[in-house]
């Protein structure tokens, strides 16, 4: 079992954090608790732990009890983010449509009243607010009375909080584009946050991530579960690759620069793809390993009914497919299939990444997304340890699988795609792609394969390869948008837009709307197309 140091139960004082769901007083009103939480240097680590945990838990207690937000669904950050990134794409058939209230995401037909959209918005800003509060109370002036060693530690924590805030802001920018901005200076003010254009958020994040990348430790000197500098560089590379989407111009060579910094950091591809997603995947984190930065989910200290518990239990079905125990889960939630287009990417291949249960199954969802007889099962998330033993009782304690938010394979693919798009570094790009494919037991490809325009989509190899490598890792919507394939008719998949053969949808669905409740509370905000 993994050892967690910073993800122990957070201070009881932090349980008083509260937030409204109807305005940007999502920034917690914690002035009183600050006096008790931040008056002792030993409390800072627990406060930082809450910032980390806010990405995978929904509340202060076990599995999200004593909830942080009284929102529409009350689900955790990563459950929301996964659905926002996957539900409407070719990677996911969310079969429990009515029970999970996910039809609008599935068929690309949401509006500003959608409960998942609202939950994701408020989850993002709740995490931002926690980091802002930490940063307000960790300035050099605020900690001047502590010992030198404590001050040094807290400055390191401060860099981690800045990264976590940047991560939440990146997700908000990527999903909503033009969003309210507030940093720690706005806490306690009556001023409403101003609306920033996506390009302005991009510029802020670029500055922040470059700065914290100079402060955070190397992979070799980072404690498990905490942020290494490689995570800041990965987030920068992802931002740069998608920069045009945010109106920030082309930054492909900058993407290559920061992906290269990750490549030089001492990580290594995992030879067994399955082990990146099992209950011992904490062993694949850090220097010499593939996972650069995980979101920790732990059956003893960070119990979550969302995040990877949602994926591992949701991928098995009570009536069809593999038995729940074969993937280390106590019971099936009967929620997910993969749409047929993703397994089709592996046809004729011995690729190790094709983790699908197809016996007796129909590849395509001909009867509809909610028809549980269609679509293969994904068997990617496995709550068993390397030796095959079950890691936890998922009915009482959730899974023991970390979510690999950033891993080296993605750095390979980002570098290579940016190289092809900028027509520089082509030899290294091809070497990286083939090194990855050889590692995954897939055939080598040529430079012509990487550069080809297929079905009107330039460099479509990378869209397909990222589907093979990263399916169900919450990047697909962002990738499809970058290739102009999310809303257009350039690439159709079953039930895109709510019809069997798929159809193009309105371009507005490239961006999610600010929730209607938020618009009514903050006159600085508006949606352009909703």
pLDDT in tens, 252-284: 999 999 999 999 999 999 999 999 999 999 999
Q: In this predicted structure, what is the pLDDT of residue 7?
A: 34
**pLDDT value, residue 33:** 57
Q: What is the pLDDT of residue 66?
A: 76
Distance in angstroms (rounded) separating the CA atoms of residues 296 and 3: 11
* pTM, full prediction: 0.93
Residue 508 has pLDDT above 70, yes or no: yes
346 pLDDT more than 70: yes
- Report CA-CA distances (Å) from 192 to 127, 345, 518: 18, 47, 11
Q: Domain map of the chain by residue range?
A: 12-215+513-521
CATH number for the domain running over 12-215+513-521: 1.25.40.390
Confirm if 23 and 522 have CB atoms less than 8 A apart.
yes
Q: Would you state the pLDDT for residue 2?
A: 43
**Residue 511 scores a pLDDT above 70:** yes
Which has the higher per-residue pLDDT, 113 or 33? 113
Q: Return the CA Rg of the chain.
A: 22
84-142 per-position pLDDT tens digit = 999 999 999 999 998 899 999 999 999 999 999 999 999 999 999 999 999 999 999 99
- Residue 275: the pLDDT is 98
Nearest to 478 by CA among 430, 437, 417, 519: 417
395 has pLDDT over 90? yes
What per-residue confidence (pLDDT) applies to 414? 99
- Single out the residue of 155, 189, 169 nearest to residue 246, CA to CA: 169
pLDDT at position 34: 67
pLDDT at position 17: 34
DSSP assignment string, 409-449: HHHHHHHHHHHHHHT-SHHHHHHHHHHHHHHTT-----HHH
In percent, how much of the chain has pLDDT > 70?
93
- What is the pLDDT averaged over residues 518-524? 96
- What spatial distance separates the first Cα and last Cα of the chain, rounded to whole Å? 48
3-state secondary structure of 223: coil
Instruction: Report the pLDDT averaged over residues 426-455.
Output: 98
- Tell me what pLDDT residue 1 has: 39
Question: Can you give the pLDDT at residue 450?
Answer: 98
The DSSP output letter for 218 is: P
Over the stretch 39-72, which tens digit does the pLDDT of each residue have? 999 999 999 999 999 999 987 777 667 778 876 6
């Amino acid at each position: 079992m993994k050892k967690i140091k910073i993800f122990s139960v957070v201070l009881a004082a932090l349980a008083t954090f509260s937030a409204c769901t109807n305005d940007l007083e999502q920034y917690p009103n914690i002035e009183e608790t600050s006096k008790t939480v931040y008056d002792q240097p030993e409390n800072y680590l627990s406060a930082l732990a809450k910032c980390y945990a806010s990405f995978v838990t929904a509340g202060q207690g076990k599995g999200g009890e004593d909830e942080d937000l009284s929102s529409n669904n009350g689900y955790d950050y990563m459950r929301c983010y996964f659905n926002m990134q996957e539900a409407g794409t070719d990677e996911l058939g969310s079969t429990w449509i009515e029970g999970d209230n996910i039809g609008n995401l599935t068929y690309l037909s949401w509006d500003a009243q959608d409960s998942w959209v609202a939950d994701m918005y408020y989850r993002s800003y709740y995490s931002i607010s926690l980091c802002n509060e930490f940063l307000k109370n960790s300035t050099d002036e605020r900690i001047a009375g502590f010992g030198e060693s404590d001050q040094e530690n807290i400055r390191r924590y401060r860099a981690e909080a800045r990264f976590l805030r940047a991560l939440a802001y990146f997700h908000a920018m990527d999903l909503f584009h033009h969003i309210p901005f507030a940093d720690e200076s706005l806490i306690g003010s009556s001023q409403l946050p101003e609306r920033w254009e996506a390009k302005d958020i991009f510029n802020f994040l670029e500055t922040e991530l470059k700065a914290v990348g100079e402060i955070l430790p190397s992979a070799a000197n980072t404690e498990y579960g905490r942020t290494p500098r490689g995570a800041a560089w990965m987030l920068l590379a992802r931002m740069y690759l998608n920069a045009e989407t945010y109106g920030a111009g082309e930054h492909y060579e900058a993407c290559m620069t920061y992906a290269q910094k990750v490549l030089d950091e001492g990580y290594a591809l995992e030879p067994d793809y399955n082990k990146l997603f099992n209950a011992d995947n904490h062993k694949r984190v850090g220097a010499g390993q593939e996972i650069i930065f995980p979101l920790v989910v732990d059956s003893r200290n960070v119990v979550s009914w969302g995040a990877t518990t949602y994926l591992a239990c949701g991928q098995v079905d009570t009536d069809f497919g593999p038995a729940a125990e074969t993937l280390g889960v106590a019971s099936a939630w009967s929620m997910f299939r993969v749409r047929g287009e993703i397994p089709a990417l592996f046809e004729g291949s011995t690729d190790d990444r094709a983790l699908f249960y197809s016996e007796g199954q129909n590849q395509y969802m001909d009867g509809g997304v909610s028809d549980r007889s269609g679509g293969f099962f994904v068997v990617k998330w496995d709550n068993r340890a390397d030796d095959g033993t079950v890691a936890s009782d998922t009915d009482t304690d959730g899974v023991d699988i970390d979510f690999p938010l950033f891993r080296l394979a993605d750095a390979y693919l980002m570098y290579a795609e940016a190289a092809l798009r900028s027509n520089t570094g082509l030899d290294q790009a091809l070497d990286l792609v083939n090194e990855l494919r050889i590692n995954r037991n897939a055939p080598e490809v040529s430079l012509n394969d990487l550069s080809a325009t297929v079905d009107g989509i330039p460099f479509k190899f990378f869209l397909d390869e990222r589907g093979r490598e990263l399916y169900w890792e919450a990047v697909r919507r962002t990738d499809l948008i970058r290739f102009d394939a999310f809303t257009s008719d350039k690439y159709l998949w079953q039930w895109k837009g709510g019809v069997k053969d798929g159809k193009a949808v309105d371009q507005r669905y490239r961006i999610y709307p600010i929730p209607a409740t938020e618009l009514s509370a903050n006159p600085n905000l508006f949606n352009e197309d909703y």
